[in-house]
Structure 1
């Protein structure tokens, strides 16, 4: 805690750091690298993913159905729920992102074997790096662990393609283990619970490994593992413009090492406006569940949503969390897929009523926002609307929601780092215009 004297130093924090909104308009500075209509400022080119949610015609933004493609493949095709040969897909998706093409069976088998071979952590790493001084947020341990793994890599400063791919495979393999071990280390430190340290089982998929290590009895169904695998696939990549991937590109452009780059991306993803947003979604949904007596009553659900929109309920921001996206307008394909799989697991169980409530929130929120605010824009549910619900059905604790996101996104971050190394060539260095008026005359100490 800061002392009284320290607090006094920062009492004018807001005033000192304020820049008038009018000045951004005056100099046509696009805050957040966002245009006035909400579209992103084009900052680079990529072959890795296409995130589409609108078209621009005659300088007008027109809503369109959401589309997400990995290396040109539609995510709906990659994760087709009806296909007879569906299997665990995350490893295949990771290979596609890193190598640019879908693998043959032989290539996929070799890739899975490479992941298996890297799951072990250095001797003493768990005791000294994960269980020691465990902080309350698992994302910080993931970032710290990635930085410390640098010390165990004799070629950490090498920038060759071989080393970059080997490092990426190592971290894709190890992050899920570090995540689960940290979860139990946190519970042991803060809740006085037992430290469970299951060994990984060679040959299991990433989703199976997570569930096997997480659950005390190590038991899970094929449908549960398949659902978690889908979530990993949906979070694996989302274009170069999202904050953590852009962080990856910025750090890579500075020619820093891969460990520093990925640790920085994890720090970005932790942010409440990025990967950490799922906590707000879940908290809002829990409040609605507590305050709406009849979940199947549209009028009652809409009335409480109106309270949220009018800043009378939840966190008083007026935001309906889980609704809206920077790119998607009519639909978020990740949410569509997540919702479809969630329904298959929820129907006929104690979760069905809650699932129907979430569908009502998704359906009613745009109408309520238009009615209460008088204006509206095309708005769809984003992936966070259903992701927390899915994780809850799988018995995954909230502490792991964002870390799971990080484990999945490692493959996308790595793909963008590779592309930046080969094609970027220049350090990313946008300009900031100084709005300080004129030169200030220096005042000696005795005259201040």
Structure 2
């Protein structure tokens, strides 16, 4: 039997062997996607790391939409961001300390923590050469493979004691910016024929500034670029235990696998377009709309085109407006509110005021268009999510789309490691093993000669 035909035949069997009637999910009370009937998440664990709030459960049943809130160790992220802004300080390192330890550091602790982080940023020569050898078309894949490679350089890679977990966590948080910057420069060299730049991180710079320095070189970024990148890292650092990648890290950690295997699994989850790649989709959509809509201030023209998009008559005909809606947030995404104000400052510095005003109008009209289009079919209020503005600021900073999702990982590694530590030390202390009910038919074995 020819190989191509056999592959075709096997793929055809999927049409029947993988089909499960939707009615069976209702019959057996299966929570598809670990979602309840009201679309809230199924409670599968407890955490003290982060909290995502977008609705209240009513005593009589159902959900009540409320303004969104995000908490890191009980601290409102909006308060964290505004507090840092008032003191005119960068805060990603402080946020990492908070998530790992459970409290905000004092001045001396913060200085020491930064020194530990910055000294851990460089890669040894062999690790750097391994990244060069791992050239490919996707930086997330290079990041995942590089993390697995770090296992070989760790003197105690399988040790899950608290001290060792903290050490590994700090080293991963420190090394992610370096790995991502190197991976992009190698990709740029191999795919675009550009000069290869491997800039060593500077121990006098923050993680955010080091990343821009390693990506763009000295004097090619502004103070505001650093501030906004630092803010986006803070806003993406954690999102509770239930988001897909963090849950992946917790599931794998519950088996007591090593840190590098668990984090690589989280990277694989985040790479998925339904999770970490949404900001790229927003940027691509925004570029299209800048051309498709002639008058960026004409509400009627904008509404008409958005309606076509929802009807699958325009753009990529997916029926989606990217950056609208969220699994938890209903009235507002607090991350989007914070980032929107910084995006306004960025637009003023870069001369992108018209583009920003257009994006802001799209924000307003897209939510209204979506709500109107869904009508009685919609089960909750929707809002613009953080992806609607993060892609805009990354683009304004001059960062390539290839690093948009890796930047998400560069921030979320803080939350991943904090949740891993909690899972291994203070959670249920059981391997996460949910049940799947088999709904296939039982069949007898048929001898080979009779098939």
Structure 1 residue 390 and structure 2 residue 403: aligned? Answer: no
**Post-superposition offset of 1:352:** 1.2
Q: Does 1:312 align with 2:316?
A: no
Structure 2: runs of 5+ lacking an equivalent: none
Q: How does 1:182-197 map to 2 (within 5 A)?
A: 182-197=183-198
SS of the residue corresponding to residue 18 of structure 1 reads: coil
Corresponding residue to 1:75 among 71, 74, 77: 77
Instruction: Indicate the residue corresponding to 2:431 in structure 1.
Output: 427
C-alpha spacing 1:395/1:81, structure 2 compared with 1 (3 Å): farther
Q: Are 1:211 and 1:218, in contact at CA under 8 Å, matched by a contact in 2? A: no
Give the match for residue 367 of structure 2: 366
> SS at 1:347's partner residue?
helix
* 3-state secondary structure, aligned to 2:124: coil
Q: Deviations over 1:89-118 (max 9, x none)?
A: 000000000011000010000100001121
SS in 2 for 1:189: helix
- Aligned residue for 1:213? 214
Q: Which moved more, 1:419-428 or 1:277-286?
A: 277-286
2: CA distance, partners of 1:81 / 1:109: 18
1:345-356 map, 5 Å? 345-347=346-348, 349-356=350-357
The structural deviation recorded for 1:190 is: 1.2
Residue 218 of structure 1 deviates from its aligned partner by 4.3
Partner of 1:94: 96
Q: State whether residues 158 and 258 of structure 2, in contact with CA within 8 Å, keep that contact through their aligned partners in structure 1.
A: yes
How far is the alpha carbon of 1:14 from its aligned partner? 2.9
**Structure 1, 274-283 or 419-428: larger mean CA deviation:** 274-283
CA shift for structure 1 position 171 = 0.7
Counterpart secondary structure, 1:45: coil
Greater helix share, 1 or 2? 2
Q: CA RMSD in A?
A: 1.5
Residue aligning to 1:62: 64
How far residue 287 of structure 1 moved from its aligned partner, in angstroms, is 1.7
**Preserved CA contact (<8 Å) 1:271 1:277:** no
How big is each residue's C-alpha offset from its partner over 1:17-61, in whole Å with a ceiling of 9 and x where there is no partner?
111111111111011101111100011011111110000112111
User: Which secondary structure state, in structure 2, belongs to the residue aligned with residue 86 of structure 1?
Assistant: coil
> Structure 1 residue runs of 4+, over 6 Å off?
none
Tell me the SS of whatever aligns to 2:204. coil
Residue 417 of structure 2 aligns with which residue? 414
1:118 aligns with 120
Q: CA deviation at 1:349?
A: 4.4
- Does structure 2 retain, via aligned residues, the 8 Å contact 1:65–1:328? yes
Corresponding residue for 1:248? 249
Cα drift, residue 11 of structure 1: 2.3
Give the direction of change, closer, same or farther, for the CA distance of 1:112–1:349 in structure 2 (3 Å limit).
closer
